[in-house]
Structure 1
Amino acid sequence: MDFDLILNELSLRNPASNEQIAQQRMSELIKTIKAVKAQGVKVSLRTKENFHTIILAPNYPLRRWLNDKEVDQVERGFIRTLATKAPFSTDTGNSEIQDIENNSSLSEFRHQGEMAIGLGIAYVLDTIAISLLSEECWDCSRLELEFRCLNQDEELIHELVDIIHVSRSSHVQEHAVLIHGIQQRIRQEVSDGVELWNRKEELFPRLEFCEDVSKQMQNLYPGNPMLRQVIKRLFELEDYCKIWTDGAFNSDNIPSKATPESESRLRQFKQELTFKCPDGEKRIFSWHLRMTGAGAWRLHFSEELGPGKIIIGYIGSKIQ
């Protein structure tokens, strides 16, 4: 499978003032894409509209750039052979991607107050967003997005989330380890929750799963927006267990934010947060990871068997 780069359409809103600056921006974009390819991945560029219709400068669309004899022939050849996919939702099989793209979703992502469709899709697909270096705000290796959605109880959920972002080749070097991790997940891609459950010992040998998780995981159908996020969080816990060889559990070493339940919620939902483990013991699963999307899901886990072992107790909507 290809490694998808998601083009940030907001970085196209300010065309260059002249053709020379437009050419410089394209050169930097090409260097950035090549830096990703140099990590050993096959790259596809996903865009909101047909990539070749982009306006780089007044009266200078990408089609003119491709035929401009003043532009390096190698650069023009690179863009001609670059695999591009438009619209964003092409071949994803993910209904939430289509809803976000068509502005028909109950959830939305914004960057500095502006609707950010591409950046939001990069978050949902757990991949990298790429921008044309057209403004100073895109000269960074991470971006913060504002996420809003209505949960199943029609309550407004508001969160801030981070995404991986590149607009220079130097940004790519900062993300080399993360790109490798995404590449490994692509190679181990599963089609649905049933396959994920059946391959859990292969993919997550350091994790144990409570019996109730079986149904929760197997209900993740193809295209479910939570499937990819569940997989991501499970790999994060598996990777943490690899380095957790001694000492106490340290949530700071897990990429996503892991937090325990508050004392008030533990008192109120003690029974609902207690699950029977594979060893027959019943444990309270306070620690959890959040998953942003429809319903704002949680993954509850226990570190009591550690070092090097974590139990997964619950995957689903926030326990109420």
Structure 2
Amino acid sequence: MPLLFLNEKSWTTTCDQARADEAMAEFVDAVRAVANEDREETALVSETGLDALEIAEGYPVRKWIGNSPKNHVRWQRLRALQNRSPVRSVYPAPDADGGLEYSHGGEIALGLGAAHFMDGIAVSLPVAPEWQTPTVSLDRSELVELDDGSLEFEQETVDVRHVSALPHVDEYRPWIRKSSLARAATGRQIWERRADLYPHLQFLCRTEAQLSDLDPRWIVPVRRGLDRLEAAAEAWDPAATPEPEWQSKVTPEGETRKRVCRFEDFDGTSATFHLHARFTPGAGRIHFRLIGVEGKIRIAHIGSKIRPDL
């Protein structure tokens, strides 16, 4: 199910009513085209109800709906896709633990940022030239915890998938079809489909509860982390190298922390799973150990950083 996130920055622009009507027609056609590519329900997520927005200054959506029967039909099609869950709910506020912030042109960009974080697609009204491209660049700032427990902001420029017209949908059709078939939308689905999604990863029984109860904000980051571990394990030849070529940051725990990384393995013995990959927001960890004889990675922990018992 592709998630579409409304780019609030593309609304309430300066243009005449004729251009606003044209932009809305293009916007609805593009959103519906994405939905038609997916076998499951597509959701359009926005900060507020669409009918509370202004297409252009002084031209609210409610007025546009009433201007013609065609607009009313377009509105009904659009309304069927809208999920009014606020986009800010998918990642924490900048001043919260694990602060994450996306900006565009020096201004906070909630919808665009949510589309990147949730591995979805941002959708915009195609009025200004900056919203008439299939990708949009964002500045991302995130508070991360280092190995020594200290915190620092990491900053980078990222590109988000973006649609405002039918040609943009054409560019993403292969991705939409592939992601619709392969995507796990909940932690429980990750667990239930683990054998198909991650044939080179083995999951201890304790991870079933961790995945089933996974914070919704962590679904996509965990999925990305597992995808990268799967790709590394698939390409690994244990006879040639002691470790796979990691596709993300993987580090071992120090000697003093290895004791908190011991878990009961499949055979009932206690084993140390001190290698770990990270995911955010917050101090998310995937702890695992290598099973060289099988060329597999065995996972014991998916969740917050393991804290020692006091």
Which residue number in structure 2 is paired with residue 27 of structure 1? Answer: 25
1:201 alignment partner AA = A
Q: How far apart are residue 241 of structure 1 and its match?
A: 6.8
**Residue 108 to residue 180, structure 1, CA distance change in 2 (3 Å):** same
**Residue 40 to residue 239, structure 1, CA distance change in 2 (3 Å):** farther
Q: How far apart are residue 143 of structure 1 and its match?
A: 3.4
Pairing of 1:1-320 with structure 2 (within 5 A): 3-12=2-11, 14-41=12-39, 42-69=41-68, 73=70, 76-82=72-78, 83=80, 84-88=82-86, 96-97=89-90, 99-100=92-93, 105-106=96-97, 107-112=99-104, 113-138=106-131, 139-149=133-143, 151=145, 153=149, 155-160=151-156, 161-185=158-182, 188-190=184-186, 192=188, 196-197=190-191, 200-201=194-195, 203-209=197-203, 211=204, 214-215=205-206, 218-220=209-211, 221-235=213-227, 237-238=229-230, 258-259=248-249, 261=251, 290-295=278-283, 297=285, 302=290, 310-312=297-299, 315-316=302-303
Question: Could you list the per-position Cα deviations for residues 166-203 of structure 1 after superposition, in whole angstroms to 9, with x for gaps in the alignment?
Answer: 223223333333323432355x54454xx744653354
- CA-atom RMSD, angstroms? 4.2
Q: How far apart are residue 131 of structure 1 and its match?
A: 1.9
Structure 1, unaligned runs of 5 or more: 90-94, 252-256
Does the CA contact (< 8 Å) of 1:217 and 1:315 recur in 2? no
Question: What is the distance in 1 between the residues matched to 2:256 and 2:134?
Answer: 41
Structure 2, unaligned runs of 5 or more: none
Does the CA contact (< 8 Å) of 2:272 and 2:289 recur in 1? no
Q: How far apart are residue 51 of structure 1 and its match?
A: 0.2
2:51 alignment partner AA = H
Question: What is the distance in 1 between the residues matched to 2:130 and 2:300?
Answer: 41
Q: What TM-score does the superposition give when structure 2 sets the normalisation length?
A: 0.70
Q: How far apart are residue 45 of structure 1 and its match?
A: 1.3
1:123 alignment partner AA = H
What percent identity do the matched residue pairs reach?
A: 22
Does the CA contact (< 8 Å) of 2:3 and 2:45 recur in 1? yes
Question: Could you list the per-position Cα deviations for residues 26-80 of structure 1 after superposition, in whole angstroms to 9, with x for gaps in the alignment?
Answer: 12212321331232343221111110121122321111111223xx82x541322
Q: How far apart are residue 6 of structure 1 and its match?
A: 0.9
Q: How far apart are residue 22 of structure 1 and its match?
A: 1.1
Does the CA contact (< 8 Å) of 2:101 and 2:108 recur in 1? yes
Question: What is the distance in 1 between the residues matched to 2:277 and 2:163?
Answer: 26
Q: How far apart are residue 109 of structure 1 and its match?
A: 1.7
2:115 alignment partner AA = A
Q: What TM-score does the superposition give when structure 1 sets the normalisation length?
A: 0.69
**Residue 77 to residue 202, structure 1, CA distance change in 2 (3 Å):** same
Question: What is the distance in 1 between the residues matched to 2:43 and 2:253?
Answer: 45
Question: What is the distance in 2 between the residues matched to 1:99 and 1:15?
Answer: 28
